[in-house]
Amino acid sequence: MSLSAYQLILFPQRDDISAAQRAALLSHLHGCGFLGQAFELDGREHFTTGAQFLDQLVFLGCSPYIETEPPADTAARNTAARQGRFCHLHLTRLLPRARFRANPRARVRCPACRKSVAAAELLTGPGTDRTCAHCGHEAAITDWNWQGHAGYANLFLEVWGIHPGEAAPTEGFIQAIEKITDSPWSSFYTQADQQPADETGPVMWHNDRPN
């Protein structure tokens, strides 16, 4: 039985980040010491944490412990990485169309009756419209109130191994990447049973965004 991996997902509020901006962002993340060495995990390029990774986080709560050292053995490292047992990072490729991603363990509110349902119920099934089990109202997934548990973008920065409310990027870090991408950034915490492929998730039109 696989363990769920905790993640902090950062994303630009613009959904049309360019290839040049992604390249500049990746260069900055290396240059500022946020990213360390690259390694392959299930066909995707991940990174260990850089020398200044912890300096660019604000720690929340009571004395959180964040593991940054991966196991030396490659097989053990990959198993631990999939389970989020140490911090590592992945910058998704530039997606040809923006994607909607959300925490499948969150509670989401109907835009009509405001009653909550499990996010997992909305994230399964064909199409992008969902019907409220309480009132029968039908709405696009992005029209439901995700209460900060979702994002819509063509680029995501995944920080694996961060539990909800454990840590967040510093204001200076966010300001720097906002300048590079010419876009405000947001974030949400999630816990997934497996890492999503870069191309999964409902395709939403560019004028559809999560609340």
Mean pLDDT by 10 residues, the chain (211 residues): 76 96 98 97 95 93 82 96 94 90 92 94 86 94 92 94 92 98 96 59 45 47
pLDDT value for 123: 87
d(CA 147, CA 177): 24
pLDDT value for 211: 47
The string over 183-209, giving b where at least 16 C-beta atoms fall within 10 Å of a residue's C-beta and e elsewhere, is bebbbbbbbbeebbebeebbebeeebb
Pair 7, 192: CB distance under 8 Å: yes
pLDDT value for 2: 44
pLDDT value for 196: 55
pLDDT value for 169: 95
> What one-letter code names the amino acid at 44?
R
pLDDT value for 199: 54
Cα–chain center distance at 11:
7
Helix (H, G, I), strand (E, B) or coil at 64: coil
pLDDT value for 191: 86
| Domain residue spans of the chain | 5-192
- HEC string for 166-193: CEEECHHHHHHHHHHHCCCEEEEEEEEC
pLDDT value for 204: 46
* Cα→Cα distances 28→21, 117, 163, Å: 10, 39, 25
